[in-house]
Amino acid sequence: MCEFRYLPGITSATVCRRAATAMLVRRQQENINGSVKISPQLTFSAQSPWRKSVYSRIGVFLSPVNEPGQDPHLVIQRQLDLVENVDRLNFDEAWFGEHHTLGWGLVGAPETMIAAASQRTRQIKLAHGVVPLPWHHPFHVASRAVHLDHLTRGRYILGVGPGIFPDARMLGLDAAEQRSRLAEALPTVIELVNGDERLTEKTDWYGLRDAKLQLPRFTPGGLEVAVASGGTSPTSPLLAGRHGTSLVSFALAQPGAANTIDLARQWSYAEEAAEEHGHTMVRDNWRVALPLHVAETREQAFADVREGFDRWLFEFFGRAAGRDVTTPGVPAGQELEARIEAGGAIVGSPDDVVEAIRHLQARTGGFGNLLVYVPDWCSLEKTDRSLELLARYVAPRLTGAAARPQESIDHLVASRG
């Protein structure tokens, strides 16, 4: 029997599931100085700093990006239906983005999506992915965050970032202002959300006078705050380290780029800044997001997403965002394969996906949560099937949760010999 102690936002099923996984890891440890075998498909070093949490969580990241021409109302409802579905599939987190331009992302108020999803879900954590701090007053950001902490009963994560340039341009900001405003507002938001001091500040874009939230936090230990990093700039990882927040990294190579983002370097930036400012970065709280699609076979997976990927690449990034999406040396029609080869997406059978995630973990040094970026590359039915295959057949092989039934069979077979 699994002993359950109430924790805000965590169900007994979740606690028991994770306790069982932890017990399995302990019992399968062969040598504390050697290696730990989680399943026949995966072995990793016992001395790794992330061995206790490797592949421990999966989530979805919903920008959301949806091809124009669809009913906007149905697009919004679809996002909520998807989160309700992955909650049933025991996904750990769902992140909602905020966008105001480019036509493919219609959610401009993700806090309303989080509030709605909180009433339709059971155990999944719900996160801002992310609040673009440069165009929001820090007090309003903090106030909404604490309200969401209550509505979700402790399942809320406050993700922040600089925002995308087309949105900033529409609001009259330039790129330099995005970075400086993020750096300026972040410590203020953290203090308002998780601190108890009254703040008085005066900047060229916001002011505070003896400011303190009236509503107390629901989560006793404070809300988790995460900084998003979506490019090669060290700004966001350095901010995460400086202020001791979590880090969300996007492994999506920019269209036209030959190489992926150096995720390991991002983490080292954060660690160096954390050490300098008296904090410790925890890999278990590092999220890595990228597009991922699973089907029963590799051929089916590629067939599912190829047309949608091409529209996303050429219509969204090429036409709407105005980027050069050509990659030197990549023949026409091979853009999807090139992106997968570069590590900017994972597409394939369950076996392919297991191997690709193992490679991503090795390339980064280890992270605690894989966020599936859902870019509307295929039909709703195929997307839902992909998420089910990920939860049912991929994640258990990586966490070790599927090992015990097989061990029971192996034991019985051996005992008869």
- Indicate whether 23 belongs to any domain: no
Distance CA 319, CA 355 (A): 34
- In this prediction the pTM is 0.85
CB 65 within 8 A of CB 56: no
- Indicate whether 9 belongs to any domain: no
Write down the pLDDT at residue 256: 55
Specify the number of domains making up the chain: 1
- Indicate whether 102 belongs to any domain: yes
- Indicate whether 15 belongs to any domain: no
Q: Higher model confidence: residue 30 or residue 258? A: 258
* pLDDT tens digit sequence for 39-96: 333 332 323 333 333 446 999 999 878 888 999 999 999 999 999 999 999 999 999 9
Identify the domain containing residue 136 by its residue range: 40-416
- Indicate whether 26 belongs to any domain: no
- Indicate whether 183 belongs to any domain: yes
Whether cis (ω within 30° of 0) applies to the bond prior to 396 is: no
Helix, strand, coil percentages in the chain from 3-state DSSP, rounded to 5:
45, 15, 35
Cα dihedral value 203, 229, 145, 92, nearest 10 = -170
Q: Please report, for the domain that includes residue 365, its CATH number.
A: 3.20.20.30
How many angstroms separate the first and last alpha carbons of the chain? 32
* pLDDT tens digit sequence for 282-339: 999 999 999 999 999 999 999 999 999 999 898 888 888 888 888 788 888 999 999 9
Name the helix (H) or strand (E) containing 101: none
Mean pLDDT taken over the chain: 86
For 97, half-sphere exposure in the C-beta direction (CA atoms, 13 angstrom radius) is 26
- Indicate whether 255 belongs to any domain: yes
